[in-house]
Amino acid sequence: MPATFDQFLTDLQSHGRCCFTAAEAEQALRASPVAIQNAARRAKARGVLAAPVRGFYVTVPPEYRRIG
C-alpha cells in the first residue's frame, strides 16, 4: 500500500496505468475525499496530474510536463 499520493502515482505508472478515479485513490491510500482533492490539486499545480473530468485523473508523463 502506498504511503503518499506521490507514491500512489508512481505505483500506478509502474504498473502501466495512466489514469485513476478519486475513489480508487481514497481506497488505496485510506484517505478522505478532501485529502485526495487537496493532494490532487497540489499535483496538478506541479504539472504531474491532469483532471479532464471531476473525480477522474490522468498522470502526465515527464516528457509532456514542460508543455503544460
Sign of CA dihedral 37, 65, 19, 11: negative
Q: Coil, strand, or helix at residue 53?
A: strand
Spatial separation of the C-alpha atoms in residues 55 and 23, rounded to whole Å: 8
C-alpha cell at 58: 490522468
Residue-range domain boundaries for the chain = 8-15+26-51
- pLDDT value, residue 66: 76
Rounded Cα distance between 19 and 63, Å, is 17
DSSP state of 60: P
pLDDT digits 0-9 by tens, 12-64: 999 999 999 999 999 999 999 999 999 999 999 999 999 999 999 999 988 88
